[in-house]
Structure 1
């Protein structure tokens, strides 16, 4: 049987390459696996040879020690792969298919899945609705930063690319379908972005850049991206965004007014989450900053998209309230302005097929927007280190040497 190299979280600031068991169509015991899930049979699953798997900012939260992730948890929820084995209950996905894996694990059978709320499937995580590969408190499904991975409920979950050769030509774009492109798009859609919109995107990391590019795809007239990292702001400008440097002590509304003539926007998206910092040079962590920012600059009646991650357990929180996800949000301001809020995991299957078609027919260039950069799997620790330093890159891991950078 083939070996299986994988990227595992060890301790804050440390990941390593381990050799783990080749996957089975059954959930095995291991780090982070809920005891209720141990031994769970998956005849509806497939084994994938991983073609590409990406490092995500959500992974970085764990690697920084900002969650309760256990040591030796195999990471990775952004997965594209080739089917090498299919379970006896798999009817429509075939060996040899090249597929995108939504990061949400969904059964396709529960009430939420039937309502396309696949980010909060009721049957795959005994702790709470919603699950993902290689993520803390998500049921213990083994991550895909590996050579091989098991995917349950394959007929429901997997998006098959119609032409393998065509897909491999665009694989650096298509690998973004597992998470950040749908997530960024979801944030923009839920914020009401449309033709002629003026949009503020908080955060120029990969999800923020994906949301900015998604806003352009949706017809926004002006996309403004805010961050404190000059390299990431330069990346946003590289594909036509306006930017604001939040190291400045100038109020955000004033910087927006300088760009568009008024201190407010039609739509706002939080792509930062709970590790947000305050504004100004040397500002420290202030986890509610972005939530309060987007309420401040969004016009009355606007919608706010919040794909940025917020957690219920943060050992590194700045105070006891932050450690349980209780933040000082100006809800009164949002109420007074009649704002609506959308939070939670992106339901990837609501968007991934349409975004696949946009990629295959050259309507968007998401890999260029996020500066996709290929690394061999063995270089994942260096990728995590560089990402933590704020490089303006989206790292795509290549476990089998199949990608072209």
Structure 2
């Protein structure tokens, strides 16, 4: 492949702004050395994520010029000399976590906190602030390192294209929602509360159903998103309405607590209902979780919390220091599980669930395909609360 080939990508231009611009065509290189364990992908689909929105809103320390995008599905165009088990022409899902496969964390399945792919902290991702400087995949072409370890090959290329709207979600939000449920202890007969009906929250709700939950309750303040949750059998709570969370849960389950709680909101949470103002309250969901989760229950936290939030309303929150009622969680013997989802722990099994029609994840999160040039409008619509998961089709193959 010629390095002079064209490439375009979605670029962060400062708070509230993204643009589609010409960017460098990827090389099989890491810094100044050849990346023989990597591949170059033609991007088939790449999704806009709520985590991207945190950056685009100016709520992180992301620098202008960052090429966005960590949810990538593509076809291999070129591979390095050391890549043995995937080949040119394979259609693959790319976990948003970049992992070396060699460090102590990777060897135990903790691929979200790989020790070798980010000089500043454990864990890396494509196109994300503080995640190692890797070029993002909201583009026409992208380089993926450690390809044999990272990539999930789809067994049938034609079937993969037919189910691309579902399979594209394996790079992040489906495993992330599933991970939130697993770490919250969801199993057959569980009652589950999912905070947030954005795409990850909806993916978590579907995951809870897949895991056998008896009742899945989704809370949000956006009516269209709540309607989307109801479309596949969830109960819903409109958080704009006053009244205690316990009363609202009791009206659904006849009990005032749930077995499992999944936080799919993160640090841009707002106070809601119960006489609260609707102003930002970054610990609101975490405090609610301790309030309504049964003693001995678990709280899964796939929602993003950051170490630096320049847009926060107080100095403590700007450093990621939140005012949590942690003593309540201690008194109730709660378990908390945080951090990036280790996508590879789940993506093969979830792929099989899609291929054998056990789950309709694209319908649940309401996938809408858009072109690369429509990406800025997709970001704007998503920021406005659209009950959709925007999936970019950079080459117009699925429109």
Instruction: State the TM-score, normalizing by the size of structure 2.
Output: 0.98
Quote the Cα distance in structure 2 between the aligned partners of 1:86 and 1:359. Answer: 28
SS of the residue corresponding to residue 174 of structure 1 reads: helix
* CA distance in structure 2 between the aligned counterparts of 1:212 and 1:189, rounded to whole angstroms: 12
User: Is 1:6 matched up with 2:9?
Assistant: yes
Task: Tell whether 2:40 aligns with 1:22.
Answer: no
Q: 2:264 aligns with which of 267, 271, 277?
A: 271
Q: Who is 2:167 aligned against? A: 174
CA-CA distance at 1:39 after TM superposition = 2.7
Structure 2 residue corresponding to 1:64, chosen from 57, 60, 63: 57
Aligned pair partner of 1:241 in 221, 234, 243: 234
RMSD: 0.8
SS of residue in 2 equivalent to 1:112? helix
Aligned counterparts of 2:100 and 2:208: Cα–Cα separation in 1? 30
Alignment length, in residue pairs?
394
Matches within 5 A, 1:125-136: 125-136=118-129
SS in 2 for 1:150: strand
Equivalent position SS for 2:130:
coil
- Residue 317 of structure 2 corresponds to residue 322 of structure 1: yes
Give the match for residue 117 of structure 2: 124
Partner residue, 2:356: 361
1:105 and 1:88 map into 2 onto residues whose CA distance is 20
Helix, strand or coil: the match of 1:73? coil
Cα deviation for residue 52 of structure 1 reads: 0.1
Query: How does 1:83-102 map onto structure 2 within 5 Å?
Result: 83-102=76-95
Give the drift of 1:120: 0.2
Shift of 1:41: 3.5
Q: Per-residue CA shift, 1:182-238, capped at 9, x if unaligned?
A: 000000000010111100000000000000000000000100000011110010001
- SS of 1:318's partner is coil
Q: Deviations over 1:138-168 (max 9, x none)?
A: 1100000000000000000000000000111
Is the counterpart of residue 393 in structure 1 residue 391 in structure 2? no
Equivalent positions of 1:1-400 (< 5 A) are 1-27=4-30, 38-280=31-273, 283-400=278-395
Q: 2-side partners of 1:229 and 1:252: how far apart?
A: 17
User: Distance between the aligned counterparts of 1:78 and 1:51, measured in 2?
Assistant: 11
Deviation string for 1:52-103 (max 9, x for gaps)?
0000000000000000000010000000000000011111110000000000
Instruction: Compute the displacement of 1:282 (Å).
Output: 5.5
C-alpha distance in structure 2 between counterparts of 1:248 and 1:336, whole Å: 29
User: 1-10 vs 205-214, which deviates more?
Assistant: 1-10
Gaps of 5+ in 2: none
Mapped partners of 2:145, 2:360: distance in 1: 30
| Shift of residue 249, structure 1, vs aligned partner | 1.7
Aligned equivalents of 1:43, 1:183: Cα separation in 2: 29
Q: What's the secondary structure of 1:62's corresponding residue?
A: helix
Distance in structure 1 (CA, Å) of the matches to 2:222 and 2:33: 44
Query: What TM-score do the two structures reach when normalised by structure 1?
Result: 0.96
State the alpha-carbon separation in 2 of the partners of residues 340 and 198 from structure 1. Answer: 16
Q: Distance in 2 between matches of 1:118 and 1:295?
A: 28
Question: How far apart are the structure 2 equivalents of 1:348 and 1:40?
Answer: 27
CA offsets 1:344-398 (integer angstroms, 9 cap, x no match): 0000000000000000000000000000000000100000000000000000000
Q: Which runs of 5+ in 1 are unaligned?
A: 28-37
